Amino acid sequence: LRRQDLAGKKVLITAGPTYEAIDPVRFIGNRSSGKMGIAIAEEAASRGARVTLVLGPSALRAKHPGIDTIHVESAREMYVRATAQFPECDIAVLSAAVADYRPVKVADQKLKKEDGTPKLELERTPDIAAALGEMKQAGQRIIGFALETNNETANARKKLEKKNFDLIVLNSLRDAGAGFQHDTNKISILSQDNKTRHFELKTKAEVAKDIINTLLPIL
């Protein structure tokens, strides 16, 4: 049995991609597998937490009996479920790769091929992280993620402050084996006290341990 250092804690985790419907068969999405968020859910549950996993369309499933999975498809659905759960939670881990834009209109029939090129009008999806950051009460903690390609640390620090996160996990696309779909990840964790901790390339299960271990002292 693992050390039950999250016993009594309730953890909300968002994971996976979101799909934003264009019509009944097409969507705008991304290549997130959900692996990192599911690994964090498994790690938190094995350390005694009760976990609610709000999971976008992913082929993967969480296995630990301490994890309650809510399946969602779109950013709007993820927003509704995450904001409803957060008030009862001690910790939110926002590892989902939420689509930033969705089609303004969703066609109720499959769109037909036509002459010329169709134009998709897009609008912003709700920012779940920003909403939870505004709802955050004393004693609650939020961990966000950032995937940056340039000025990584500076951009991640801006995001930490703007979205009222306590920690932000930065994954770099420049590192081989890190990020989307891989079983491994290479991260840095930035905290509110201006520290940046760098970690080696590891399995996502090991990365999940590092994230929880970094969170414990600020709970």
The residues that touch ligand C5P, with contacts defined as CB under 6 A, are: 14, 75, 94, 96, 98, 125, 127-129, 144-146, 159
CA-closest candidate to residue 67, choices 55, 82, 51, 56: 51
Question: Which residues, including other chains, have CB under 8 Å from residue 83's CB and lie 6 or more apart?
Answer: 128, 131, 132, 135
Q: Is 100 annotated as a binding residue?
A: yes
213 is a catalytic site residue = no
CA-closest candidate to residue 86, choices 137, 45, 26: 137
Other C-beta atoms closer than 10 Å to the C-beta of 36 total 28
Residue 67 or 128: the one with the smaller Cβ distance to ligand C5P is 128
Residue 76 or 209: the one with the smaller Cβ distance to ligand C5P is 76
CA-based R_g, the chain, Å: 18
CB of 10 to ligand C5P, least distance (A): 18
- Which element (helix H / strand E) includes 198? strand 196-198
Residue 14 or 184: the one with the smaller Cβ distance to ligand C5P is 14
Q: Is 5 annotated as a binding residue?
A: no
Termini Cα distance of the chain: 22
CB of 202 to ligand C5P, least distance (A): 20
CB of 119 to ligand C5P, least distance (A): 23
Q: Is 110 annotated as a binding residue?
A: yes
Q: Which residues are catalytic?
A: 30
Annotated binding site: 100, 110, 145, 159, 163
